[in-house]
Structure 1
Amino acid sequence: MAVSMKTEYINVPGGFISLNIYGAENSQNIPVLYIHGGPGGNIESFRPMAEMLAEDRTVYLYNQLGCDERSHTGEESLWTPERYIESLGSLIAAIGAPKLHLIGRSWGAYLAAEHVLRVSPSPVISITMISPLISTKIWIADAKQRLAELGGDYLEAVEQCEREHHFDGRYYQEIIKKYNDNFRYRLSTVNRAGHRATPLKPKTASGMRVYRHMWGPSEFTCEGILKDIDITDKLHNIKIAVLLICGEFDQVRQQSCEYYRSLIPGSRMAVIPDASQTSYLEQPHIFYWTLRNFYECF
């Protein structure tokens, strides 16, 4: 059964955000706000899951500033974590819900965590962190470990490219595709029964500029302004419910998610079998019921 969707435009510092609203806004269930990854990503891969969740609650999705061609982003000097954290706060205030669940994927999990650490009081009562970026150092270590698991000379070739600062070569691009096909969105799952979507929508030209400025040339090479991100020492201050989710073959390895879980009081963790970073596409029913069971606690 199709759910309704409408769009509202919300002014935030530096521009505006297109807010997609799924489901009935008068639902008695606590609404959900999804925060995509990147930086520079988009909401497209989560739309099928949003439609499932919106059958009994309102679900909000938005592309962050600079992540689609319509939103004005200003100068690169303004593409900072502070700006995106502030934008998230403005959006939550505009939604105006007395209680709100956040779902943050990758970089989105970092933004969600920073919001609840900085804003008090906040209507946010839970965060679901999908393949979270909490520490760039740990993220890169996981990525390099995954590269090594692919065999061949992938890791050695990547580290040579990093030493030479050369990322546009054909082999480096082939390694990115091999990595993505195994750990970000597993090609082996596309024909699985229940699969919810076709391959991920690429970043827009504007979104790619944000990604390259804030992160770098690939998931396993960070040279941007996020290279020193690490909020592990703050996680003990998160006092709301947290669910961490990773896929069995996620680029964020299970050991890292378990480490983050150990730092957040009372948090829970789920590993989605035979899935990578887009577990909500690859195993949608397992992901959906994992989330539903979590929300039944509220």
Structure 2
Amino acid sequence: MTVSLKQEYVNVPGGFVCLNIYGANNKSAIPILYIHGGPGGNIESFRPMAERLAADHAVYLYNQLGCDESSHTGEESLWTPERYVEALDGVISAIGAPKIHLIGRSWGAYLAAEHLLGTPKSPAISVTMISPFLSTKRWIDDAKSRVAELGKDCLEMVEQCERDNHFDGRWYKEIIERYNDNFRYRVATVKREGHFATPLKPKTASGMAVYRHMWGPSEFTCRGNLKDIDITDRLHEIKISVLLICGEFDQVRQSTCEYYRSLIPGARIAVIPDASQTSYLEEPNIFYWTLKNFYECF
């Protein structure tokens, strides 16, 4: 089935973003806005799922400012959490829907939460948080516990690199690669027959600059301006429906998602078997029906 794709440009603080709209003619169902991870990531890995969801909904996706070739910005002063939340606010306003479903992955879940906490009259009636980043400390604790699963020597090497502030060595880079293959995008799982064999698009040069400035050299080492993020004490203020999704082998552990669920009134959780942080590619059918069943409540 061919799904229509429409593009619009939206002005945001510091520049503009390109809004990709799948199924723009679907007016009967509540639209969906996907907010990618990172910082510095992109929307490419979610496109197959967006196309599938667009059979019933209009699905909006955008690359955050500085994350693709068309919206490059070299102004580090703009690379702040507050600026990205303002940009999300602008995108939601530009969509102009009276009701909308939000989907935020990792960093995108944080942006969605900040939008909801700062916008009492947001049109969002639900938010799905995939492998959510809501606390830097919990993220790092989970990530390092996953590094330890690769071997005690791996964790010792990471901690030594952090003490030396040296992250360009071969061993550190190899640990990153093994970590990604096990907990971020389990290639062996995705290549099983019947699954989408969609590769992750690497961060662009500008996207990687955003990532290193705001976060750091890897998922398990934070040196940027997100190092003190923690909004767990405010999660109880979220009053709309919340679905938390993590993979069985996710870098965000199930115990962390369970903790977040305990803080958000009425929140639900779904754990995708055989999947990591990219569950919508690794187990697309389970992910799709998990989301579909959630949306049937509206």
State TM-score, norm by structure 2. 0.98
- Is the CA contact (8 Å cut-off) linking 2:74 and 2:206 kept in structure 1? no
* Distance (whole Å) between structure 2 residues aligned to residue 205 and residue 168 of structure 1: 17
- Is the CA contact (8 Å cut-off) linking 2:191 and 2:197 kept in structure 1? no
- Pair 1:104 & 2:104 matched: yes
| Map 1:149-228 → 2, pairs under 5 A | 149-228=149-228
- Greater shift in the superposed pair: 68-77 or 99-108: 68-77
| Structure 1: 4+ residue segments shifted above 3 A | none
Per-residue deviation, 1:128: 0.1
Q: Counterpart in 1 of 2:87?
A: 87
Q: Counterpart in 2 of 1:132?
A: 132
Q: Which amino acid aligns with 1:261?
A: R
- Greater shift in the superposed pair: 68-77 or 137-146: 68-77
* Contiguous gaps of at least 5 residues in structure 1: none
- Pair 1:146 & 2:146 matched: yes
- Is the CA contact (8 Å cut-off) linking 1:194 and 1:284 kept in structure 2? no
- Pair 1:269 & 2:265 matched: no
- Tell me the SS of whatever aligns to 2:197: coil
* Distance (whole Å) between structure 2 residues aligned to residue 78 and residue 274 of structure 1: 38
Per-residue deviation, 1:26: 4.0
Per-residue deviation, 1:120: 2.1
- Is the CA contact (8 Å cut-off) linking 2:6 and 2:24 kept in structure 1? no
Per-residue deviation, 1:27: 2.3
* Distance (whole Å) between structure 2 residues aligned to residue 110 and residue 10 of structure 1: 21
Q: Counterpart in 1 of 2:40?
A: 40
* Distance (whole Å) between structure 1 residues aligned to residue 113 and residue 100 of structure 2: 14
- Is the CA contact (8 Å cut-off) linking 1:102 and 1:126 kept in structure 2? yes
- Tell me the SS of whatever aligns to 2:269: strand
* Distance (whole Å) between structure 2 residues aligned to residue 244 and residue 287 of structure 1: 12
Q: Which amino acid aligns with 1:161?
A: C
* Distance (whole Å) between structure 2 residues aligned to residue 133 and residue 19 of structure 1: 23
Per-residue deviation, 1:130: 0.1
- Greater shift in the superposed pair: 36-45 or 189-198: 189-198
Q: Which amino acid aligns with 1:38?
A: G
- Is the CA contact (8 Å cut-off) linking 1:53 and 1:59 kept in structure 2? yes
Per-residue deviation, 1:192: 1.3
- Pair 1:18 & 2:12 matched: no
* Distance (whole Å) between structure 2 residues aligned to residue 99 and residue 93 of structure 1: 11
Measured on the aligned residues, the alpha-carbon RMSD in Å equals 0.9
Per-residue deviation, 1:214: 0.2
* Distance (whole Å) between structure 2 residues aligned to residue 45 and residue 126 of structure 1: 22
Q: Which amino acid aligns with 1:82?
A: E
Q: Deviations over 1:78-108 (max 9, x none)?
A: 1000000000000000000000000000000
Q: Counterpart in 2 of 1:285?
A: 285
Q: How many residues align?
A: 298
Per-residue deviation, 1:137: 0.1
- Tell me the SS of whatever aligns to 2:97: coil
- Greater shift in the superposed pair: 78-87 or 190-199: 190-199
- Tell me the SS of whatever aligns to 2:71: coil
Per-residue deviation, 1:152: 4.6
Q: Deviations over 1:190-219 (max 9, x none)?
A: 321332133211000000000000000000
- Is the CA contact (8 Å cut-off) linking 1:14 and 1:74 kept in structure 2? no
- Pair 1:260 & 2:226 matched: no
- Greater shift in the superposed pair: 8-17 or 73-82: 73-82
Q: Which amino acid aligns with 1:62?
A: Y
Q: Counterpart in 2 of 1:69?
A: 69
- Is the CA contact (8 Å cut-off) linking 2:258 and 2:269 kept in structure 1? yes
State TM-score, norm by structure 1. 0.98
* Distance (whole Å) between structure 2 residues aligned to residue 85 and residue 194 of structure 1: 37
- Tell me the SS of whatever aligns to 1:153: helix
* Distance (whole Å) between structure 2 residues aligned to residue 291 and residue 257 of structure 1: 17
* Distance (whole Å) between structure 2 residues aligned to residue 103 and residue 270 of structure 1: 14
Q: Counterpart in 2 of 1:118?
A: 118
- Tell me the SS of whatever aligns to 1:246: strand
* Distance (whole Å) between structure 1 residues aligned to residue 153 and residue 176 of structure 2: 13
Per-residue deviation, 1:17: 0.4
